[in-house]
Amino acid sequence: MNPVIVIPSYWSRTDDPVAVGDVGIYDHSTPISKPLPELETCLQSLEQVRGVLRVVVLVVAPPAFAESARARVDGICRMHPSLNPLVVGRREAQEVIRLVTKVAPNLDGEPCSLRGYGAIRNMGLAVAAALGHDVVVFLDDDEVVLDENFLIDAVYGIGLETRQGLPIQAKSGYYLDRDDSPYASTDKPVWYDRWWSKRKEFNEWMTRALSGTRISRSNYVCGGCFAVGAEAFCSVAFDPLITRGEDFDYLLNLRMYGFDVWFDNQWKVRHLPPEVPSHAARFLQNVYRWNYEVKKLEASHDIISLRHVTPESLQPYPANWLNEDILRKRIFRTALARTIVSDEHKEYFEVLVHGRREAERWAASVARDYFAFQTYWPRIMASLWEDKTLARALKLLGSPKPAKSRTHRAEVGSLDDSLPLPKIVDDAIPKVEDDD
């Protein structure tokens, strides 16, 4: 096997709180002036890992200070030459986008780019294909690996079959929190969060998965501990429309197109996330995200060639989140309760009055768009696979550059010109991490 580790790295100018509705804001963004960025800690932990062939770092930053973010990432990657780092910023991404556009000129927006969670993941897959890597191992920059066998565990089982003869082409590990627990908090949620808590059903599923055989069919994907083989990632793309939770959404995509995601209960990382900048912004993203998943699954049932995925097949978690009636009640009750008690009561009131209905309308209007894009994906990946010209350009441009003199270093820009989403997600709200 020829695995590559892909790490999306999100950067912001400051750590100021985000506003609900801001575009181009990511929940796990690193302030460019942070003395010890999460990416450094992540790469340092990878130094102990055996068999690392290449690490690809995807640099996501608003245009106003993209060069400064790139310079910071180059500096971090230069400190880890043994990882054979390759940095993909705006210049490298343009080379990939140019070829994607050539193969599929009629696609709206940039479904393979450095903006939007799903499109960023697709960029990682595209770069891996151009370089000829047959397994992509996704790792988040706010995670650290725990032992030298991380990559051995990552590729364990990939390309083989289960005892029932089912192929293993995609699998998820899991993360431990700061207290070494793989479970959602067992503390009883405060009353106004009771309708938005996933704890009981998630922990029920996780308990089963951890106590069973090493490899079992998964209802869950940890996007920062996820491995996917070429047969799967060259056939199925991430959804650039999803407002967040692109990892679980990819599980649904893979199932619909004939692949299963498997769970490896011996493969894990430690998750060290930063503080949530805005709980209201996260909630709004979840409202859009789950409404979209409901409508997308409904739309998929009308496509004869797809395998039908039902909420019932995802018991005990996250089945109820894909039930439209239950979801509406959860959104209304949570928005109302948080409007009363939260410090962000104005933002939650806006969700209660307008946001939840706008999310439903948006989801219904774009529910079929992914399937149109997906018809192009196998052709795109076949064209990119081991493209020597593209691979040469990526290696030339993406090798960490020597530090420039002080007078030539790019200055940190303003966030006023925040990174726009591609046209295919122009109507989506900003990207932040999910409560679940």
**Tens-binned pLDDT, residue by residue, of the chain (436 aa):** 899 999 999 998 865 544 544 444 576 789 998 999 999 999 999 999 999 999 999 999 999 889 999 999 999 999 999 999 999 999 999 999 999 999 999 888 789 999 999 999 999 999 999 999 999 999 999 999 999 999 999 999 999 998 888 999 999 999 999 999 999 887 777 887 888 888 889 999 999 999 999 999 999 999 999 999 999 999 999 999 998 899 999 999 999 999 999 999 999 999 998 877 778 888 999 999 999 999 999 999 999 999 999 999 999 999 999 999 999 999 999 999 999 998 898 999 999 999 999 999 999 999 999 999 999 999 999 999 999 999 999 999 999 876 554 433 333 333 333 333 333 333 333 333 345 5
Would you state the pLDDT for residue 159? 94
Task: Decide if 421 is inside a domain.
Answer: no
Write the DSSP assignment of 166-230 as a string of letters.
Answer: -B--EEEEEEE-TTS--SPP-SPPPGGGTTS--HHHHHHHHHHHHHS-SEEE-S---TTEEEEEH
- Who's near 382: CB < 8 A, 6+ residues apart? 234
Q: Which of 128, 124, 129 is nearest to 112 (CA)?
A: 124
Q: How far apart are CA 173 and CA 49, in angstroms?
A: 16
Q: Is the peptide bond before 318 cis (omega within 30 degrees of 0)?
A: yes
Q: How far apart are CA 98 and CA 29, in angstroms?
A: 27
Would you state the pLDDT for residue 404? 56
Q: How far apart are CA 156 and CA 149, in angstroms?
A: 10
Q: Which two tokens stand for residue 65?
A: 């200070």
Residue 77 is part of a domain; what is its CATH number? 3.90.550.10
Q: How far apart are CA 431 and CA 341, in angstroms?
A: 25
Task: Decide if 138 is inside a domain.
Answer: yes
Residues forming beta bridges with residue 107, ordered by sequence position: none
DSSP 371: H
Would you state the pLDDT for residue 291? 97
Task: Decide if 434 is inside a domain.
Answer: no
| Domain interval for residue 230 | 3-275+374-398
Task: Decide if 58 is inside a domain.
Answer: yes
Would you state the pLDDT for residue 181? 94
- Who's near 294: CB < 8 A, 6+ residues apart? 322, 323, 324, 327, 363
Would you state the pLDDT for residue 417? 34
Q: Are 139 and 56 in contact (CB under 8 A)?
A: no
Task: Decide if 305 is inside a domain.
Answer: no
If residue 426 lies in a helix (H) or strand (E), which one and from where to where? none
Q: Are 140 and 221 in contact (CB under 8 A)?
A: no
Would you state the pLDDT for residue 403? 56
Q: Are 262 and 171 in contact (CB under 8 A)?
A: yes
Task: Decide if 409 is inside a domain.
Answer: no
Task: Decide if 295 is inside a domain.
Answer: no
Please list the alpha-helical segments (H only) found in 26-156: 38-46, 66-78, 90-103, 117-130, 150-155
Task: Decide if 62 is inside a domain.
Answer: yes
Degrees to nearest 5, angle at CA 406 with 37 and 38: 5
Q: How far apart are CA 243 and CA 245, in angstroms?
A: 7
Residue 52 to residues 47, 80, 83, Cα–Cα distance (Å) = 9, 12, 6
Would you state the pLDDT for residue 185? 83
- Who's near 221: CB < 8 A, 6+ residues apart? 172, 247, 248, 250, 251, 261
Domain count, the chain: 1
The model's pTM is 0.89
